[in-house]
Amino acid sequence: MDTIYLDNSATTRTDDEVLKAMLPYFSEHYGNPSSIYKIGRENRRAVEDAREKVAKALNCEPDEIYFTAGGSESDNTAIRGIAYNYKKKGNHIITSKIEHPAVLETCKQLEKEGFEVSYINVDENGFIKLDELQNAIKPTTTLITVMFANNEIGTIQPIKEIGEIAHKNNIIFHTDAVQAVGSVRIDVKELNIDSLSLSGHKFYGPKGIGALYVKKGVQFQKFVNGGHQERNKRAGTENVPGIVGLGKAIELAYENLEEHNKKIKELRDYYVEQIEKRVPYIKVNGDKEKRLPGNSNISFRFIEGEGLLLNLDLKGICASSGSACTSGSLDPSHVLLAIGLPHEIAHGSLRVSIGKYNTKEEIDYTIDSIVEIVSRLREMSPLWEEFNEKA
């Protein structure tokens, strides 16, 4: 069997229609959008057309959308830009303990620069504790930033309620929606969102292109100095092929959302059911209902996630471990620790994220492979031997 790709939370394959839309802008339509001659003006129209598509998907105005190089830049721009712009009002930021590093590391850096940050706990399913959020608010709080859906365990936060708390206290609400856009319908007005980050490669668009929504009236400092692109907020010649691809990808995602989600969720539920039936001593992480359709995160006791991941790779299966050791750290995922998993269980976690190109045949092969690998790894585990001796 060919490579089975089950790591769609990390990135997705670029859709063929998206690639087709992008190709002319590498060669035939190569003008600089800031130029006043025809091929420049044509590319400016292409950029603005994509901006309108992103705005339509989020139910906002096109001039509230700023193109960036991806989710991390969007998060940095929003958090730093808003924090510094409102510093005279206050220097306190609130976030959660399970945010993406693009948010957590930005907040840690801001702490070094004189800002105060409160990190709110989550419950065993990964939901932010709203009472703790409310109690953390101070007169100096200017920004709340909480992710829309978690990249590891898939839990979708009560975004509308978080936004209501923020607005009742005259606080700006930003959400990292990188994992959610393209999988969940998002109306920024209905959900009380003031700022939102997204990234094209999470919904079958190209890598290296993202967008930032900032509501009119919310001020933020520019992130890149230079020219006057993106309404004087992000200098640099626009990535026209990427912007066109992002626009096409978000258009396709929301045209076919329910159809794709139904198929993806059915495959995800089938995968989880079979693993629960065939592999003992496991824990499914994250909420069972309020989660991204393709996300599954399961902890397998008595094994190391790294070993499972590497053995799956030998069988041609691409997934993700709950452990961060592959990035040079021996610590388990900060998300899994935040939901209360002990180190030894968090270390044995596997994230499978299913996308629109996956098939039931691939899922069946993956299930059989996991059953066989987990059994073999446990037989070699001293923890498994000790557990059986005590049983």
Q: Which residue has 């004087």 as its token pair?
A: 232
Between CA 179 and CA 185, with CA 183 as vertex, the angle to 5 degrees is: 110
70 neighbors 208 (Cβ within 8 angstroms): yes
Nearest to 247 by CA among 20, 54, 17, 41: 54
Tokens of 361: 């045949």
Q: How many CB atoms lie within 10 A of CB 52?
A: 15
Type of residue at 142: T
Query: Cα(207)–Cα(204) distance, rounded to whole angstroms?
Result: 9
Catalytic residue (choose from 60, 107, 318, 325): 325
Q: Which residue has 């998300």 as its token pair?
A: 335
Query: What are the residues whose beta carbons fall under 8 Å from the beta carbon of 362, sequence distance 6 or more?
Result: 1, 4, 6
69 neighbors 208 (Cβ within 8 angstroms): yes
Nearest to 369 by CA among 388, 344, 343, 350: 350
- Adjacent-strand bridge partners of 128: 122
Query: Cα(167)–Cα(165) distance, rounded to whole angstroms?
Result: 6
Q: How many CB atoms lie within 10 A of CB 387?
A: 14
107 is catalytic: no
CA 175 to chain CA centroid, Å, is 10
Q: What is the DSSP string of 319-373?
A: -EESB-GGGT--SBPHHHHHTT--HHHHTTEEEEE--TT--HHHHHHHHHHHHHH
Where are the alpha helices (H) located in the chain, listed in sequence order?
16-22, 38-58, 71-85, 101-112, 130-136, 159-168, 229-232, 240-255, 257-278, 305-314, 334-338, 343-346, 360-379, 382-390
Catalytic positions, written as ranges: 325
